[in-house]
Structure 1
Amino acid sequence: MAKNAYKARKKKSGLFAYLERSLPFERLFMDGLPSRYIPVIAYSFLLGLIYVGNTHYYERTARKVDKLEQDIGALRMEFTSLKSSYMLDSKQSVVAQRVAPLGIHESNQPPFKIKLNQ
């Protein structure tokens, strides 16, 4: 059976290991969290909360704007197609063809003014 043996660990290297070695956190928090840091921590927490809320609000607004831009593009295309079909249907020759089955035809005589003598 294998025997358990203690293996010596290498010293940690990295940013947090450096901060742990260089800053006196153990001495600061030996008696608990000093009360003079509570307002700073609360202020930082509040700023972080506002930052996260603002980010969520911005992303939601950006999604709404993108959706509305897509809707506007679709409506603009529909408007353009309806406008072109309306312009085609309102031509004099097309109107004359459509009302011909009803017995209505174009007049070949130009209009004239009727003058009344009083």
Structure 2
Amino acid sequence: MATNTYKEPVKQNSKIETKRKQVSFFRFLEGYLSLGGVFEQGLPIRYIPHILFLTFLGIIYIGNIHYAEKNVRKMTRLKKEVDDLRADYTTTQSEYMQASKQSDVATKVSKFGLVESSTPPYKIIVKKEK
């Protein structure tokens, strides 16, 4: 049976740790912004217009996202409403077609005393005079 052993701790000065320091974006950013960097004595005034412009673009971007999501929700709601109206239209149209049949019309007008004609219609022909 194998025996339990402890892992050796990684040394701070090893090559792996130095590679991680070199590769890490946040370590680079921290070194750039720390003492001796750009913002050593505070935020330079020359960057304020750029920061305000980027802030303005960010606000426009967020507003555009909210507007697009609102329109998507509205389109979804309208699509459901159109589907319901289409179903109502189909139902109403089939009921109208059923009600306009000759047999249904005859039963509805029979209460007014009208009856169906048993003789077929005939065509009246008028002769032209010369």
TM-score by length of 1: 0.76
Q: CA deviation at 1:98?
A: 1.9
Match of 1:57 among 57, 67, 70: 67
CA change 1:18–1:31 in 2 (3 A) is: closer
Task: Find 1:78's aligned residue among 88, 106, 115.
Answer: 88
1:95 paired to 2:102: no
* 1:110 matched residue in structure 2: 120
Offset of 1:24 from its aligned partner? Answer: 4.3
Deviation at 1:49, TM superposition (A): 0.5
Runs of 4+ aligned structure 1 residues displaced above 4 Å come to 10-14
Q: CA offset at residue 94 of structure 1?
A: 1.1
Q: TM-score, normalised by structure 2?
A: 0.70
Letter paired with 2:96: Y
Residue 9 of structure 2 corresponds to: none
Tell me the equivalent position of 1:67: 77
User: Whose RCO is larger (CA < 8 A, sep 6+)?
Assistant: 1
Structural mapping, 1:19-58, within 5 Å:
19-21=29-31, 23-26=32-35, 27-58=37-68
Q: Number of residues paired by the alignment?
A: 107
How many angstroms does 1:17 deviate by?
2.8
* Consecutive unaligned residues in structure 2, runs of 5 or more: 1-11
Taking only the aligned residue pairs, the percentage that are identical comes to: 41
Structure 1: state its 5+ residue gaps: 1-9
Q: 2:54, 2:34 → 1: CA distance?
A: 19
Question: What is the alpha-carbon distance in structure 1 between the residues aligned to residue 47 and residue 34 of structure 2?
Answer: 13
Amino acid at match of 1:73: D
Shift of the alpha carbon at 1:114?
8.0
SS of 2:42's partner is coil
| 1:59-95 residue CA offsets vs partner (Å, 9 max, x unmatched) | 0111001000000000100110000000000011111
Task: For 2:41 and 2:30, locate their aligned partners in 1 and report how far apart those are by CA, in whole Å.
Answer: 18
